[in-house]
């Protein structure tokens, strides 16, 4: 064991029912995807020989493994960063630094303890990956190499989350910087693959980017690149990933006591003792002592919550750095969209027989998803920060009304993340200006993005209000947004791979739709269930499936727009209307059973 931190988690984790539930749900979700693909294949053609079965195994393997990699990347980074941030929010990190624990035990202990649940999920999926070689089209070596890539990716993503968590003070800063760093690394890998980085061969993208590495392993034929190494691309990627993770851990260990607790200790104003003869002090010394950090009072608005969000550094001054990194990603997305327009790929109307995903969507969709996740992260932290700072109790006894608090938080979050709201809209306007989409479709896209921005913002505030523990609120809110968009992407890929009528595709997806509804209801209505939240939870997956089907059938843009706006607008209203009537927070004054 690496110290008592991991030892405690190793003994306590198996006592929690969530430890077993999460791996059951994870494997069941992957198996349901495999079952859905099988039902679609069996419904469209007859599986007559071993060759058909092998093609099914290869296709299902190419869907399951990248999906598992994306989930593990997100969970490892967010779980580790949130675990370290929770220690700072509860002021327990200072206590750890005062003990006899070495920096190595603290850093590696928190890292391994946070990754324990992720490793539990990944290893539980190994039997499912070993089923594909029995079907054919996939070898046992491919399954084991894919598992190695996923585990190594979880390690260095968790190490990155631990580094940023120990470095930054605010929870949102830790989450935002971690997610942006991972996104920037993936963009760098795609730039190398596209030949846009001079001096670096394009094959290096396969050993640097986790997405490229795992996709190389998923191919039926071995990749000829780096064939001189046993295992090829997977072996080199694992070596580089391990080196990255070890380097991040070593740097965090060296800087742990430099970063902490110096940034948490606030400087105190000098006091003048009563026994001192004031006549002996010069007027300048007395003035400096009396006016230390004194400034003119600032006029507060009628809504003090909104004033604090918009006129103060409520989330730290490092937001400027986060905005700078986000603008760099925006520049990369703008460059990719520009080259797509110049080459003509973004201006051509895509055809399903030629291309599954339009060229402009490949650039816009990841950037839009990152923007929505960042907005949601700030929204949930706007509530958890108040609770962790013990300011929520004070707000509840003031004359601030629920409407002032909720609208102040809602508008304030959108104002703080204004770059993440405006810049995606600017990309869509640029695509319309270049003739990539029509004016009608531009209006649909802009209104749809505004609706999604309101939805993810209110979702974060709602999760922050109904969960008493900050870690649970952050995990629920970010997990809901991430898995929602990931489910949409996987659904579209499966439906595009097995093109057919709506009636033939609906029955295989019913299990996934029902599971998505149960998951949404557990996330949104676990504390205060209501008919509106239940209707929104179970209606969103079905309406989203209907919108995807209408989009694939083409020439039904109005139907897609209407369904999306009504579905997510109703879900937003079902969360915001009860919150406008009263303050109803889960305060968490007693420790939850899962925290013991």
Whether residue 278 lies inside any domain: the answer is no
Determine the pLDDT at residue 500.
59
**Cα–Cα distance measured from residue 74 to residue 183, given in angstroms and rounded to the nearest whole number:** 10
What are the backbone dihedrals phi and psi of residue 343, each rounded to the nearest 5 degrees, phi first? -80, -15
Q: Same structural domain for residues 160 and 13?
A: yes
**Cα–Cα distance measured from residue 589 to residue 153, given in angstroms and rounded to the nearest whole number:** 37
Q: Same structural domain for residues 466 and 350?
A: yes
Whether residue 400 lies inside any domain: the answer is yes
Q: Same structural domain for residues 255 and 326?
A: no
C-alpha to C-alpha distances, 472 to 15, 74, 179, 568, nearest whole angstrom: 18, 15, 18, 23
- Give the length of the chain: 596
Q: Same structural domain for residues 348 and 477?
A: yes
Backbone angle region of 344, left / alpha / beta, with phi > 0 → left and psi within -120 to 50 → alpha: left
Q: Same structural domain for residues 15 and 106?
A: yes
Q: Are 212 and 196 contacting, i.e. CB atoms less than 8 angstroms apart?
A: no
Q: Same structural domain for residues 254 and 323?
A: no
Cβ neighbours of residue 25 under 8 Å, at least 6 residues apart? none
DSSP 8-state secondary structure symbol assigned to residue 264:
T
Determine the pLDDT at residue 274.
46
- Taking only Cα atoms into account, the Rg of the chain, rounded to an integer number of angstroms, comes to 26
- Predicted structure pTM score: 0.86
Q: Same structural domain for residues 77 and 139?
A: yes
Q: Same structural domain for residues 422 and 549?
A: yes
Q: Same structural domain for residues 212 and 78?
A: yes
Determine the pLDDT at residue 499.
64
Whether residue 268 lies inside any domain: the answer is no
State pLDDT tens for residues 234-271.
Answer: 999 999 999 999 999 999 999 999 888 755 444 444 44
Q: Same structural domain for residues 154 and 45?
A: yes
State pLDDT tens for residues 152-166.
Answer: 999 999 999 999 999
**Cα–Cα distance measured from residue 329 to residue 331, given in angstroms and rounded to the nearest whole number:** 5
By residue range, what is the domain housing residue 554?
A: 304-584
Determine the pLDDT at residue 319.
86
Q: Same structural domain for residues 57 and 143?
A: yes
Give how many domains the chain has, as a whole number: 2
**Cα–Cα distance measured from residue 154 to residue 72, given in angstroms and rounded to the nearest whole number:** 6
Whether residue 401 lies inside any domain: the answer is yes
C-alpha to C-alpha distances, 344 to 191, 331, 348, 355, 360, nearest whole angstrom: 19, 20, 6, 14, 10
Examine the fold and report which residue of 259, 274, 293 is the final residue of a domain before the chain moves on: 259
Q: Same structural domain for residues 110 and 246?
A: yes
Spans in the chain with pLDDT lower than 70: 1, 43-45, 262-296, 344-358, 498-505, 582, 586-596
């Amino acid at each position: 064991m690496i110290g008592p931190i991991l030892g405690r988690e190793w003994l306590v984790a198996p006592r929690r029912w969530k430890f077993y539930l999460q791996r059951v749900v994870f494997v069941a979700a992957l198996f349901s995807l495999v079952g859905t693909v099988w039902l679609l294949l069996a419904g469209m053609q007859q599986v007559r020989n071993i060759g058909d079965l092998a093609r099914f195994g290869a296709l299902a393997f190419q869907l399951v493994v990248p999906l598992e990699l994306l989930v593990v990347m997100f969970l490892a980074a967010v779980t580790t960063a949130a675990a370290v941030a929770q220690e700072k929010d509860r002021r327990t990190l200072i206590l750890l630094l005062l003990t006899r624990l070495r920096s190595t035990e603290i850093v590696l202990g928190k890292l391994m303890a946070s990754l324990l649940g992720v490793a539990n999920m990944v290893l539980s999926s190994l039997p499912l990956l070993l089923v594909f070689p029995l079907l054919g089209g996939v070898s046992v070596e491919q399954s084991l190499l894919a598992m190695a890539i996923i585990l190594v990716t979880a390690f260095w993503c968790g190490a990155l989350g631990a580094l940023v968590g120990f470095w930054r003070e605010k929870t949102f800063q830790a989450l935002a910087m971690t997610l942006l760093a991972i996104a920037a690394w993936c963009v760098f890998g795609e730039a190398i693959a596209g030949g846009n980085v001079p001096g670096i061969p394009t094959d290096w993208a396969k050993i640097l980017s986790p997405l490229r590495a795992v996709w190389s392993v998923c191919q039926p034929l071995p990749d000829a690149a780096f064939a001189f190494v046993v295992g090829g691309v997977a072996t080199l990627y694992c070596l580089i990933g391990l080196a990255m993770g070890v380097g991040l851990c070593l740097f965090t260990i060296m800087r742990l006591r430099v970063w902490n607790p110096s940034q948490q200790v606030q400087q105190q104003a000098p006091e003048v003792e009563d026994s001192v003869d004031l006549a002996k002090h010069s007027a300048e010394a007395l003035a400096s002592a009396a006016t230390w950090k004194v400034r003119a009072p600032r006029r507060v608005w009628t809504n003090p919550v909104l004033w604090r969000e918009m006129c103060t550094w409520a989330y730290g001054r490092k937001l400027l750095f986060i905005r700078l990194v986000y603008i760099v990603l925006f520049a990369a997305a703008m460059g990719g969209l520009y080259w797509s327009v110049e080459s003509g790929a973004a201006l051509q109307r895509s055809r399903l027989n030629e291309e599954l995903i339009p060229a402009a969507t490949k650039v816009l969709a990841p950037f839009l998803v990152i923007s929505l996740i960042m907005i949601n992260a700030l929204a949930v932290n706007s509530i958890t920060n108040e609770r962790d700072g013990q300011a929520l109790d004070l707000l509840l006894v003031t004359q601030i009304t629920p409407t002032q608090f909720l609208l102040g938080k809602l508008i304030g979050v959108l104002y703080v993340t204004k770059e993440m709201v405006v810049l995606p809209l600017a990309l869509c306007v640029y695509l319309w200006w270049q003739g990539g989409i029509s004016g009608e479709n531009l209006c649909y896209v802009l209104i749809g993005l505004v609706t999604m921005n309101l939805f993810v913002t209110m979702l974060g505030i709602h999760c922050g209000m109904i969960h008493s523990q900050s870690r649970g609120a952050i995990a629920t809110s970010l997990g809901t947004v991430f898995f929602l968009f990931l489910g949409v992407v996987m659904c579209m890929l499966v439906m595009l791979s097995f093109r057919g009528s709506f009636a033939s595709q609906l029955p295989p997806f019913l299990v996934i739709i029902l599971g998505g509804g149960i998951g949404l209801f557990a996330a949104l209505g676990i504390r205060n269930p209501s008919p509106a939240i239940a209707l929104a939870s179970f209606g969103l997956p079905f309406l989203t499936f209907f919108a995807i089907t209408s989009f694939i059938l083409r020439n039904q843009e109005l139907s897609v727009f209407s369904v999306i706006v009504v579905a997510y607008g109703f879900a937003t209203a079902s969360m915001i209307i009860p919150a406008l009537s009263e303050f109803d927070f889960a305060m968490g004054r007693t420790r939850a059973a899962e925290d013991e």
